[in-house]
Amino acid sequence: MKDFARMWTSGRRSLRGGKMGLIIKKVKIAGAKGSATVEALFDMGASACLIKRSLAEKVATITTIPKKWRFTLGDGQGTLQTNEFVQLVITIKKTDFFHPAVVVDRLADDLIIGADFLQRWKIKLDPEAEEVIIDKKALRLLLA
């Protein structure tokens, strides 16, 4: 089975010590069951958005698909498999975004905002300033 995504994890713990590049922001998430305010790690190296199972169960309806995704961790050896995801509204800087997140049993952070989200919504990260930059033009709904 081919890897669905490659997630970057190396160095995250050492970065928590305050080095440049780690962006953690409070965001509001909402799903079919409720909402919560959580600290989210914005990780350009994570291919997909990930949510901790305990949080997913509180705020959203977990959807199971027939085939499992296999993720290879940043060390190139560790893997994780899942066939569950949730649909979320993620509010960042008073702006709502609709996006799925993959449900993971054990996750160091409640929510990881991955490259799929950042690219879809054309969100930029400024690691030096630890800032999330939202392009309001990317939020326009275009109908063809």
Residue 115: CATH number of its domain: 2.40.70.10
Over residues 14-48, the pLDDT tens digits come to 334 444 568 999 999 999 999 999 999 999 989 99
Residues 61, 31: Cα–Cα separation, whole Å = 7
Output the pLDDT for position 144: 59
14 in a structural domain: no
134 in a structural domain: yes
Q: Domains in the chain: how many in total?
A: 1
Range of the domain at 77: 25-138
Over residues 119-131, the pLDDT tens digits come to 999 999 999 999 9
92 in a structural domain: yes
DSSP 102-140: EEESS-SSSEEE-HHHHHHTT-EEETTTTEEE--GGGG-
17 in a structural domain: no
What tokens does 91 get? 């509010």
Rounded to 5°, the CA angle 111-6-19 comes to: 60
Positive or negative: CA dihedral 52, 55, 40, 113: positive
